[in-house]
Amino acid sequence: MSTLLQHVNLTEFVDVARQLGLDPYRQLRQAGISPTALVDPEMRVPAKSVTQLLEDSAQLAGLEDLGLRVAEARQLTTQGPLWTVMREGATLRNALDAMARYLHLLNEGIDLRIETVGDAALVRLELLVYVEGSMRQSTEFVICLWFRLFKLLAGSAWKPRSVCFSHAAPASLATHRRVFGVPVRFRQDFDGIVLAASDLDVAGAASDPALGRHAREFLDIKLAQSGSTMPDKVRKLVFALLPAGECGAEQVARQLGIDRKTMHRHLAAYGQNYLAVVDAVRVDLVTRYVKNSERPLSEVAILMGFSSLSAFSRWFSMRFGCSVSAWRRQPPAPENTRQRCAVASGAPRLACVRVETEHEVYSMQITDA
């Protein structure tokens, strides 16, 4: 089943593409997106197609900052039920919690999570879609939109401590510096925005409480009707929790509000099991961490929830039939040729999240039995 987006609004892409000398409609066709999506906000578009559109267009234009340019040109909407609910919250924390809860209704391909590390708060982005090659443009596009949205909520004077990306820095940082105006750090352990934890308690913009309640009730009904399956829900949580080392079956079940046996039973009803879901997520993540990054393999092993580099190497060899170095030399294989299998490991998992800010480095280690 395809991961879908609603209210895509590709008008700004058309404008930016034309400025760069590209044929936007040809790019849309090549990505498998109907031009109808430009005029029909209710049309649902595959997330992979939008990701491919941005990445292919950036490569054709020879630009590393296309995603930022499109996001910068986007006219942010301050209408609709989600925005109403976000403004209803008394603080920025309330607004972000609402965004995390209902974001799936508009975009099934991304997840937002809020974590506190020391006196810093991390707003993390997890892309729940996979395409061959780079995902730089999609990542920067979403982070830029979030950055601008948070400024609307917290006030134009608000500034986070830094913006973090897991990919390498571009040749020029001019656009990043202009758009964000705060330190931008690359080759980090996550994609997202770092702010002072105290910023989460900043008072939000006032709104009509009655209107906010009605909007929340509407979104709750839509959420109940969204039809997300248990494998979908588990996969989304595994994507978010695996790099932080909090991905035991017990912890994922707790996040879902059920016990582990109930989660296993629901997965079995779809012919799946928990380890198979984790393994499938690792296959998606390994391409981002290994193929498109120069980060040390020991660090990759930790980010993927393995207790050691040797455990990761054994899994990789069994999963792909070759070593990491041999796999890097091979051309990308079509996604449908990759096998799916379950890998069981009883070893404790150790994860380390390292966050750089302008003044300090935070490091958090978590053991998951």
Q: Which residue has the tokens 């609603």?
A: 6
Same domain, 247 and 196: no
Per the structure, the count of domains in the chain is: 2
Same domain, 187 and 245: no
pLDDT confidence of residue 290: 79
Handedness of CA 263, 268, 273, 277 (dihedral sign): negative
Residue 221 domain flag: no
Packing angle, helices 230-241 and 274-286, rounded to 10:
50
Tokens coding 190 = 């996550």
C-alpha separations of 244 from 35, 259, 305 in Å? 39, 21, 8
Residue 128 domain flag: yes
Residue 103 domain flag: yes
Residue 249 domain flag: yes
Q: Cβ distance 301 to 352 under 8 Å? A: no
The tens digit of pLDDT for each residue in 257-283 reads 788 999 998 899 888 999 999 998 898
Amino acid residing at 29 = R
Tokens coding 19 = 């400025």
99-102-105-111 Cα dihedral, nearest 10 degrees: 60
Same domain, 248 and 178: no
Residue 210 domain flag: no
How far apart (Å, rounded) are the C-alpha atoms in residues 77 and 345? Answer: 46
Same domain, 45 and 181: yes
Pick the closest to residue 44 from 133, 88, 107 (CA basis). 107
Q: What CATH number has the domain bearing residue 78?
A: 3.90.1520
Give bridge partners of residue 116 from the DSSP assignment: 121
What is residue 201's DSSP assignment? G
More confident residue, 340 or 246: 246
Half-sphere exposure of 332 (CA within 13 A, CB side): 16
How far apart (Å, rounded) are the C-alpha atoms in residues 282 and 338? Answer: 12
Residue 212 domain flag: no
Q: Cβ distance 204 to 95 under 8 Å? A: yes
Question: Which residue range forms the structural domain that includes residue 283?
Answer: 230-368
Same domain, 52 and 194: yes
> What's the burial of 292, exposed, middle or buried (CB within 10 Å: 0-12/13-18/19+)?
middle
Considering 163, 182, 201, which residue would you say is the last residue of a domain? Answer: 201
More confident residue, 285 or 357: 285
Residue 288 domain flag: yes
Same domain, 124 and 46: yes
Same domain, 22 and 150: yes
Q: Please say if the pLDDT value at position 39 is more than 90.
A: no
- For the full predicted model, state whether its pTM sits above 0.85: no
The tens digit of pLDDT for each residue in 47-91 reads 888 999 999 999 999 999 999 999 999 887 666 788 888 887 778
